[in-house]
Amino acid sequence: MTLPSAIKGLIITLGLLFCSIGFSQNTLDADEPVTEQRSTFYNAVERQRFFAITVGGHIPFTSGDNFMGEGLEGKSGFDFKVQMYVYKHLFVGLSTGSSYFEVKNQELLGLYKKSRVAYDYVYIGYEFFPADKLRLGVNISIDGNLAYKNYDFNTLDINHQKDTATLNRYGFYLNYELGKHFMIYLDYGYNVSKTDIEVPSELNDFFGKGNYSTIGLGLAFTIGSRDLISRFIK
C-alpha cells in the first residue's frame, strides 16, 4: 500500500471515529472534569482538546527559479486535515488536498493549460495560546507525497501527464474560537517538492525541485477535553 492510499484510509477511519464520538460529546466532556488553571502562552488546561478536524480552501503562490516558480500560476485549492493531541498541546496529524494552477509558460512546461497538485502528508506540531480565543499552531511534515497532473484542455480527464514527488512542508496557523469546539482558522504553508521528472542532466536543478506557498482559510471542529496520554494517567 502506498503512502497516499494509506493516509487516505487513515483519514477516512479517523473521520468516522470523529463522527461517532461527536454523538456522545456531552457525555465525554462530562466524564472529563477540567482542573481550573490560569492559561499561559505554552499551556492551557481548560482549552485542551483530544481530536480536531479542519476543512478549508487556499490560494497557492509559486516561487523560485524552478519549474513551478517560472511556469505555473496558482489559482485555488482545498485542504482536509485530522489531528490528535498526543500529550498536552503536542499533536500529530494527517492531511490531504489539492492545489490548482494555470500554466503561464508553455515553452518551459509543454503545451498544457492547467496543472493540479494532489498531496498527502503526515505532520507533527504544537499549539500556543497568545490570547483568549486565539490558538497559534506550528507544524512540519514528517512524510509526504505529491502528484502533479498537467492537462491539455479545460476538462480534467483527458490528455494529461503525471509526475510524482516527495513533499516537505512547514506551516503555521491561527485559530479563533467561535465556541468551545468550533473555530475559524487562517494558515500559511511553505511546500518544497523533490520530483522524479526525467529530463536532460542540464535541467535537473530546474525540474528537480518545486516551491510554492499557500494561504488558507477554513473551519475547525474539535472534541474532548484531554489529550491521548492524559486519558491513561490517573
Interatomic CA distance for residues 38 and 32, integer angstroms = 18
DSSP characters for 83-95?
Answer: EEEEETTEEEEEE
Local structure of residue 48 (DSSP, 8 states): -
Domain ranges of the chain: 3-232
The per-residue b/e assignment along 175-191, b for 16 or more CB within 10 angstroms, e otherwise, is bebeeebebebebebeb
Three-point CA angle 144, 146, 147, nearest 5°: 150
The whole-number pLDDT of residue 150 equals 86
The whole-number pLDDT of residue 24 equals 43
pTM for the structure as a whole? 0.82
Residues in the chain predicted with pLDDT less than 50, given as ranges, are 1, 16, 18-28, 30-31, 34-35
The whole-number pLDDT of residue 202 equals 73
The whole-number pLDDT of residue 15 equals 52
Residue type, 11: I
The whole-number pLDDT of residue 1 equals 42
Residue type, 173: Y
Q: What is the CATH number of domain 3-232?
A: 2.40.160.20
The whole-number pLDDT of residue 109 equals 83
Interatomic CA distance for residues 121 and 5, integer angstroms = 11
